[in-house]
């Protein structure tokens, strides 16, 4: 049986980042990934000369990638070129008005939309900066392994108004519903409902302004490839097309995994980047499953899912920005439906990524590569995607064609692929087909989330379903926390010391 120090299950951003850190720290690390390629949600699709990122597209907090590369003894900027986006997003509202948000004069942009709200922009951003200064280091960089760790920060959270939602905070500052949506939609990027995600998540507009919003040349997948390259250069091993069917234990301690092929791998620690609920409910045998999580996980709230369309277009759409967000007619009603309702939403919101506006390498000359994301309820909310998909696709395209810049979309399509909540469940093995795992609410965060160090000795979690949560920044932070815990528990790695010839001779 093959033996390693650390076995990482899954090669999403979280798994790869944890593996890179642990391999760099001297532990022999093996990553096993079920799919044919690494990346997880950040998979790449290629067809007819078009190249799509299938999941994450916008890079915020690039400093976290730089930190990761430093831990691996390398320079991120030597491996990946980040291009700044300005505006961050073009946001179009149901009444036909629009605003270029971020990277310029925020108050001026809001003044053009709702003059009465312009003065409040600086106040809003100031209040989110305060939340960031007080909460970010305290909450996002440390593990919450006991409820007591969380209770310790409760007074500070109350002082920061964390019991209020992101939307409620925006409502306190702005009178116009469009401006409220503009400064409250960000939790959707990590599967949170702005109507109930804690206002701590309002730090995103602040982070965007301090660190920028970026696009990686070649697509987000260029970062995945660079991570894999660095990991392998350090001697790490990655096997793709290799699903794990069981985490096995000895005397109550995780000691390796059984692959679907029947082969076993022994390790001193197992780090699971598989969806946290699936790790507990499927990869652990019932006898090893902590009772609390066996009971609690099916009862937790899960993030919304996404319907995605990847389009190759036979001409350029020069009036489009790199990112377009189309707000639904009924912002709050749509959020309620997407998170708690059944069936397809009556109003649709869209996030459209057109990377070929910035990076010609992702489309054949004169053409456009586009991805359309529509937030929809997760699996089990009465939508039969196999049956509904063709009509829903038509509806999405029809509604988008009415948005300025998208006219003639349907007749320009050369190639189209879709990805539904069913695919999240089947291809990414996501519980309930949620796009961002467990929903980030105050009572499902920190110590109330499946923990980076689980109750099964030797088994750790990394990725969107553990602390601090989804999004590339969240999962990179989870990798740093988890790698620290693994190192602390395993003790110093036995490094192979390479002695340079001159030094050896002397
Ligand atoms: C459509 C979409 C758009 C997004 N946009 C952004 C964005 O613009 N910016 C941003 O920062 N974030 C974005 N996110 C969020 C971000 O992509 C995710 O939170 C993050 O990539 C999740 O990484 P992860 O490490 O949790 O694992 P995942 O990417 O989910 O990877 C887990 C891996 O584990 C593998 N696996 C599962 N079970 C097994 C098993 N039994 N054996 C072996 N392997 C297994 C899976 O195949 C998968 O490769 C987006 C997410 C989605 C879905």
How do residues 379-422 score in pLDDT, each as one tens digit?
989 899 999 999 999 999 999 999 999 999 999 999 999 999 99
444: left (phi over 0), alpha (psi -120 to 50) or beta: alpha
The predicted structure's pLDDT at residue 115: 96
Q: Enumerate the domain spans of the chain.
A: 2-82+217-299+437-490, 108-211, 304-426
Q: Alpha-carbon distance 313 to 28, whole Å?
A: 45
Ligand 1 atom closest to residue 373's alpha carbon, by position in its atom list: 1
Residue 434, token pair as written in the block: 């949620």
What residues contact 189, with CB distance under 8 A and at least 6 apart?
Answer: 58, 204, 471
* 190-243 pLDDT per residue, tens: 999 999 999 988 889 999 999 999 999 999 999 999 999 999 999 999 999 999
Q: For residue 41, report the distance from its CA to the centre of ligand 1, in Å.
A: 4
Q: pLDDT tens for residues 141-197?
A: 888 888 888 888 888 888 888 889 999 999 999 999 999 999 999 999 999 999 999
- At 149 the pLDDT is 85
Q: What is the DSSP string of 245-295?
A: EEEEEETTEEEEEEETTS-EEEEEEEEE-S-HHHIIIIIB-GGGS-HHHHH
Q: Measure 39 CA to ligand 1 centroid, in angstroms.
A: 7
Query: What are the structure tokens assigned to 14, written together?
Result: 């979280």
pLDDT in tens, 4-44: 999 999 999 999 999 999 999 999 999 999 999 999 999 99
Closest CA to 42 of 11, 84, 72, 68: 11
Query: Measured from the CA of 308, which atom of ligand 1 is nearest?
Result: 1
Ligand 1, pocket residues at CB < 6 Å:
9-15, 32-35, 40-42, 55-58, 189, 243-244, 273-274, 306, 308, 373, 428-429, 435-436, 463-464, 470-473, 475
Residue from 38, 41, 58, 256 to probe ligand 1 pocket by mutation (most atoms less than 8 Å from CB): 41
Global pTM reads 0.96
The continuous run of DSSP H or E covering 356 comes out as none
Answer yes or no: is pLDDT of 500 > 90: no
Query: For residue 495, what pLDDT is reported?
Result: 63
Using only the alpha carbons of the chain, give its radius of gyration.
23
Taking 80 as the threshold, does the pLDDT of residue 496 lie above it? no
pLDDT above 90 as % of the chain? 87
Residue whose C-alpha is closest to residue 360's, from 186, 196, 219: 219
User: Which CATH code of 3.40.190.10, 2.130.10.10, 1.10.3720.10, 3.50.50.60 fits the domain covering 2-82+217-299+437-490?
Assistant: 3.50.50.60
The pLDDT of residue 501 is above 50: no
63 alpha carbon to ligand 1 midpoint, in Å? Answer: 20
Q: Atom 16 in ligand 1: which residue has the minimum CA distance?
A: 471
The Cα-based distances of 113 to 59, 79, 117, 121, 322 in angstroms read 27, 40, 9, 12, 21
Going by C-alpha positions, the residue among 390, 366, 374, 241 that lies closest to residue 312 is 366
- Mutational pocket test of ligand 1: of 55, 227, 450, the residue with most ligand atoms within 8 Å of the beta carbon: 55
Ligand 1 atom nearest to CA at 15: 25
């Amino acid at each position: 049986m093959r033996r390693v120090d650390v076995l990482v299950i899954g090669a999403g951003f979280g798994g790869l980042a944890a593996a890179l850190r642990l391999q760099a720290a001297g532990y022999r690390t093996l990553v096993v990934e079920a799919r044919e390629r690494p990346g997880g949600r950040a998979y790449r699709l290629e067809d007819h000369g078009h190249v799509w990122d299938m999941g994450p597209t916008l890079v915020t907090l690039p400093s976290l990638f730089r930190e990761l590369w430093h831990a691996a003894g390398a320079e991120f900027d030597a491996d990946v070129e980040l291009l700044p986006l300005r505006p961050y997003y073009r946001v179009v509202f149901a009444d036909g008005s629009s605003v270029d948000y971020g990277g310029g004069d925020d108050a001026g942009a809001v003044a053009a939309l709702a003059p009465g709200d312009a003065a409040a922009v600086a106040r809003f951003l100031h209040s989110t900066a305060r939340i960031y200064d007080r909460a970010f280091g305290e909450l996002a960089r440390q593990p919450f392994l006991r409820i007591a760790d969380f209770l310790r920060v409760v007074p500070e959270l109350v002082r920061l108004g964390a019991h209020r939602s992101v939307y409620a905070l925006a409502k306190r500052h702005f009178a116009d519903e469009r401006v409220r949506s503009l400064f409250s939609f960000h939790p959707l990027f990590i599967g949170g409902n702005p109507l109930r995600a804690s206002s701590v998540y309002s730090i995103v507009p602040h982070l965007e302004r301090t660190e920028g919003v970026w696009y990686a040349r070649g697509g987000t997948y260029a970062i995945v490839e660079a991570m894999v390259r660095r990991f392998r250069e350090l001697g790490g091993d990655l096997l793709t097309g290799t699903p794990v069917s069981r985490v096995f234990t000895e005397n109550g301690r995780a000691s390796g995994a059984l692959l679907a092929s029947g082969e076993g791998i022994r390790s001193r620690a197992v780090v699971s980047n598989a969806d946290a609920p699936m790790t507990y409910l499927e990869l652990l045998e019932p006898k090893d499953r902590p009772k609390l999580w066996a009971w609690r996980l099916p009862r937790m709230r899960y993030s919304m899912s996404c319907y995605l369309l990847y389009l190759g277009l036979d001409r350029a759409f020069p009036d489009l920005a790199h990112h377009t967000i189309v707000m639904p007619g009924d912002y709050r009603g749509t959020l309620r439906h997407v998170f708690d309702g059944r069936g397809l939403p009556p109003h649709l919101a869209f996030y459209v990524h057109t990377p070929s506006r910035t990076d010609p390498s992702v489309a054949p000359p004169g053409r456009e590569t586009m991805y359309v994301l529509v937030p929809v309820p997760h699996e089990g909310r009465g939508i039969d995607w196999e049956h509904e998909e063709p009509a829903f696709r038509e509806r999405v395209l029809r509604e988008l064609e009415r948005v300025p810049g998208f006219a003639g979309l349907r007749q320009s399509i050369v190639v189209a692929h879709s990805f539904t909540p069913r695919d999240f469940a089947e291809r990414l093995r996501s519980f309930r087909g949620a796009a961002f795992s467990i929903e980030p609410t105050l009572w499902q965060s920190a110590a109330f989330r499946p923990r980076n160090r689980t109750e099964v000795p030797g088994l750790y979690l990394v990725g969107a379903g553990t602390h601090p949560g989804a999004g590339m920044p969240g999962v990179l932070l989870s990798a740093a926390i988890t790698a620290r815990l693994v190192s602390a528990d395993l003790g110093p790695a036995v490094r192979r010391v390479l002695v340079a010839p001159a030094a050896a001779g002397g």
